[in-house]
């Protein structure tokens, strides 16, 4: 019984192999005749354009995937380098130096920021990229299959036509050829119709995919750099205090760290009548009148609500809608925060003096980094 099944299976495999060989031979002959101009070829200009777009889309997607992977590798490298650098600082930072705990905390939070940034890029961008490209191999295989079925259809069509034109017509052969032509046409048209619908949809999907990919990446980058900027400002403040400690020790003076700049500014705007009397500036601001400030040994009348003036020492390009664009040399009128709890360390609220002089209002205000300016 097993022997008979083996013979049967061998016969089926041999028959299938022979059929496939015959198909390949028939397709090869058809292609030769078409190239020699002895047989016409079924052409579809719109479909050929769709295939060209598909190949272009697949090449662009493959390149984007490669570059995205390279970017992720660079982020991982920067994370590793940043961690080593922060750990080095934390390890060599002596306990008696100012801000030892702050330095350790900054190192930990910096590591967390990098890890979170990398993980979000992988989870939301790289995985989406891989999913997007995963659909191309199947479509590519079906395009190749359509080409083969189109050749089979052309071959069957030409064979049926040659039998009809023959001097000695064999009706049995003609009927069989017509039946084979019908089958070949049906198989070709089924796959052809599916691809004609699918290729334009796939081509149009690239826009939405690119938008989602780069929009999400831009959002992650914006939040990462904003949070990292705050940590860098904190580290800069600690280094400033450490240098003050060093200079005081060198001069043989007692030194105690003062409040952070942001804490001092917040304290100036959180005084209540029960806690302490208002300063002349606060009283004048509350009354809506101009204030008088001492600048370089001379008095100057400032607009109501202005605490003091600063001068931009460096250009600052605003990265958010609530930030103030500054050029080196710009004079900025510093304003009180309506809600001190909203103020971030190292950031001030203000309006350019040039705007005040031209418009006599303080509406075009924005936040800016304090360390980019010098108090006047």
Q: How far apart are CA 328 and CA 316, in angstroms?
A: 8
Q: Is 265 exposed, middle or buried (0-12, 13-18, 19+ CB in 10 A)?
A: buried
CATH topology of domain 306-375: SH3 type barrels. (2.30.30)
Contact in structure between 309 and 333 (CB atoms under 8 Å)? yes
CB within 8 Å of 315: residues ≥ 6 apart: 326, 327, 328
- Binned at pLDDT 50, 70 and 90, residue 346 comes out as confident
Most distant pair of Cα atoms in the chain: their distance: 121
Q: In sequence order, what are the beta bridge partners of 301?
A: 292
The model's pLDDT over 301-342, given as tens digits with 9 standing for 90+, comes to 788 889 999 999 888 888 778 889 999 999 999 998 888 777
What is the reported pTM?
0.56
Mean pLDDT throughout 191-207?
A: 91
At residue 353, the 3 state secondary structure works out as helix
Q: Where are the domains of the chain?
A: 22-251, 306-375
Locate tokens 């006599």: which residue?
360
Q: Is 359 exposed, middle or buried (0-12, 13-18, 19+ CB in 10 A)?
A: exposed
Decide which of 154 and 207 is more confident. Answer: 207
Task: Please say whether the structural domain 22-251 has been given the CATH code 1.20.1270.60.
Answer: yes
pLDDT at residue 300 tops 80: no
Closest among 109, 40, 122, 112 to 73, alpha carbons compared: 122
Q: What percent of the chain has pLDDT over 90?
A: 44
For 305-315, b/e burial (b = at least 16 CB within 10 A) is: bbbbbbebeee
**pLDDT for the residue 20:** 61
The model's pLDDT over 45-60, given as tens digits with 9 standing for 90+, comes to 888 899 999 999 999 9
Q: What percent of the chain has pLDDT over 70?
A: 77
Range in 26-30, 101-105, 220-224 the model is least confident about = 26-30
**pLDDT for the residue 345:** 78
At residue 290, the 3 state secondary structure works out as coil
CB count within 10 Å of CB 324 equals: 21
Contact in structure between 192 and 150 (CB atoms under 8 Å)? yes
Identify the sign of the CA torsion 248, 254, 260, 264: negative
**pLDDT for the residue 274:** 41
**pLDDT for the residue 85:** 95
The radius of gyration of the chain from alpha carbons, rounded to an integer in Å, stands at: 38
Contact in structure between 98 and 241 (CB atoms under 8 Å)? yes
Mean pLDDT throughout 193-217?
A: 92
């Amino acid at each position: 019984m097993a022997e008979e099944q083996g013979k049967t299976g061998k016969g089926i495999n041999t028959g299938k192999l022979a059929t496939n060989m015959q198909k390949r031979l028939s397709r090869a002959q058809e292609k030769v005749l078409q190239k020699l101009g002895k047989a016409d070829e079924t052409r579809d200009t719109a479909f050929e354009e769709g295939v060209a777009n598909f190949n272009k889309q697949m090449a662009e997607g493959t390149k984007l995937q490669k570059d995205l992977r390279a970017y992720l590798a660079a982020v991982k490298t920067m994370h590793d380098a940043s961690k080593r650098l922060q750990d080095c600082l934390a390890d060599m930072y002596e306990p008696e130096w100012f801000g030892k705990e702050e330095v350790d905390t900054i190192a930990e939070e910096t590591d967390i920021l990098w890890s979170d940034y990398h993980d979000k890029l992988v989870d939301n961008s790289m995985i989406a990229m891989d999913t997007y490209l995963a659909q191309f191999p199947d479509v590519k295989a079906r395009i190749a299959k359509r080409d083969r079925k189109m050749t089979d259809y052309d071959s069957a069509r030409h064979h049926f036509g040659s039998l009809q034109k023959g001097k000695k017509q064999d009706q049995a052969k003609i009927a069989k050829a017509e039946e084979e032509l019908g089958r070949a046409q049906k198989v070709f048209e089924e796959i052809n119709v599916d691809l004609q619908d699918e290729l334009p949809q796939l081509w149009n999907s690239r826009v939405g995919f690119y938008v989602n990919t780069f929009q999400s990446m831009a959002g992650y980058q914006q939040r990462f750099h904003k949070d990292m900027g705050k940590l860098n400002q904190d580290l800069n403040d600690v280094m400033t205090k450490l240098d003050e400690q060093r200079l005081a020790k060198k001069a043989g003076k007692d030194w105690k760290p003062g409040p952070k700049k942001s804490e001092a500014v917040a304290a100036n705007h959180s005084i209540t009548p029960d806690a302490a009397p208002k300063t002349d500036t606060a009283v004048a601001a509350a009354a809506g009148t101009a204030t008088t400030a001492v600048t370089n040994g001379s008095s100057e009348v400032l607009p109501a609500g202005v605490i003091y003036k600063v001068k931009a020492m460096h250009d600052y390009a605003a990265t958010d809608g609530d930030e103030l664009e500054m050029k080196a040399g710009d004079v900025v009128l510093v304003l009180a925060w309506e809600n001190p709890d909203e103020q971030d360390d190292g950031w001030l609220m203000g309006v350019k003096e040039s705007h005040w002089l031209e418009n006599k209002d303080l509406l075009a205000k924005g936040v800016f980094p304090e360390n980019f300016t010098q108090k006047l």
